[in-house]
């Protein structure tokens, strides 16, 4: 295995860890499709920064994309709390509007800009070792630095807000009554998801963002009964999928993010069938 292969696995593993940790809370809160919505809603931010600076891959691009991701999250949350529409409908109303706005912006103002559709769908994880920045005199993959910082930030956020996050995930009303600021904690979680979705978008593209957030967390949900254990197992599933998926992708000469996503799905199917308490086999034995 080459150093580039190791770097790809590390980046994918770190990304899976951060996404799985936040994804565990999203699964418990019934907001599993939020990262997919955010990954589409960021397009107007990318177009806006391109129009202002002429750049498509800079720090300002990340800032602009994150801003529109946060707008999608807060807008859908406001609609949900208004009581006019249900939570899933609120999300379905906001993110297509923002995505359409981005499409219109490209067609009207940035039609000459080169957009790699394969990268937008599948990401650039394969080429991550080639895009480097200088750090302490050494060339380091940019995705490794960004993903590493994001992972540390996510873990620090979860540790700092563990009690309110735990309470708000299972009983938001109780968290609010107990003085744990359940609503504010939920909004902080959603903003963190928006920022992390932008980071994940650069590596794995819009389509596979949902896999990294939801599938490892759902797999861990079948295997564990406690929240802390669920997050640890979810991160472990992400690393297993990253290592195994990369090996299969190299052997078959196919998309690395796509194969990692498929491997993650295979782990979920195994857990669905073989989980000791919640698996289909265990339930069938309990009925017989």
- Domain limits, the chain: 3-109+140-286
State whether residue 138 is helix, strand or coil.
strand
- Among residues 116, 118, 3, the alpha carbon closest in space to that of 57 is found at 116
Measured CA to CA, the distance from residue 196 to residue 202 in angstroms comes to: 10
Report helix, strand and coil shares of the chain as percent, to nearest 5: 80, 5, 15
Whether residue 12 contacts residue 203, with contact meaning beta carbons closer than 8 Å, is answered with yes
Would you state the pLDDT for residue 285?
83
DSSP state of 113: S
The residue assigned the tokens 């995705």 is 143
Contacts of 244 (CB under 8 A, 6+ apart): 263
- CATH tag, 3-109+140-286: 1.10.3470.10
Beta bridge partners of residue 139, listed in sequence order: 134
Measured CA to CA, the distance from residue 19 to residue 21 in angstroms comes to: 6
Would you state the pLDDT for residue 111?
58
- Among residues 13, 263, 256, the alpha carbon closest in space to that of 127 is found at 256
Per the rule left: phi > 0, alpha: psi between -120 and 50, beta: everything else, 123 is left
Mean pLDDT by 10 residues, the chain (288 residues): 86 91 89 77 78 68 79 81 76 81 75 52 70 80 86 93 82 63 78 81 68 91 91 94 93 87 94 89 84
């Amino acid at each position: 295995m080459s150093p580039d292969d190791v770097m790809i696995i590390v980046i994918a593993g770190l990304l899976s860890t951060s996404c799985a940790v936040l994804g565990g809370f999203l699964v418990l809160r019934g907001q599993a499709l939020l990262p997919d919505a955010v990954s589409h809603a960021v397009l107007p931010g990318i177009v806006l920064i391109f129009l202002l600076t002429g750049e498509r891959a800079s720090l300002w691009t990340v800032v602009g994309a994150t801003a529109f991701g946060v707008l999608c999250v807060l807008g859908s949350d406001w609609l949900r709390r208004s009581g006019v529409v249900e939570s899933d409908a609120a999300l379905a109303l906001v993110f297509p509007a923002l995505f359409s706005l981005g499409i219109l912006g490209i067609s009207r103002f940035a039609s000459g800009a080169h957009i790699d559709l394969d990268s937008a769908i599948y990401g650039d994880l394969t080429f991550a070792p080639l895009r480097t920045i200088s750090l302490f005199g050494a060339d380091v993959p940019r995705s490794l630095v960004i993903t590493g910082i994001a992972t540390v930030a996510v873990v620090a956020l979860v540790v700092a807000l563990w009690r309110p996050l735990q309470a708000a995930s299972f009983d938001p009303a109780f968290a609010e009554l107990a003085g744990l600021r359940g609503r504010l904690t939920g909004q902080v979680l959603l903003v963190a998801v928006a920022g992390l979705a932008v980071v994940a978008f650069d590596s794995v593209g819009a389509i596979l963002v949902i896999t990294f957030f939801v599938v490892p967390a759902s797999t861990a949900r079948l295997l564990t009964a406690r929240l802390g254990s669920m997050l640890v197992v979810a991160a472990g599933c992400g690393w297993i999928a990253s290592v195994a998926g990369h090996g299969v992708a190299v052997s078959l000469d196919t998309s690395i993010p796509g194969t990692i996503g498929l491997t993650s799905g295979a782990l979920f199917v195994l857990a669905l069938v073989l989980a000791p308490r919640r698996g289909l086999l265990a339930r069938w034995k309990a009925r017989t």
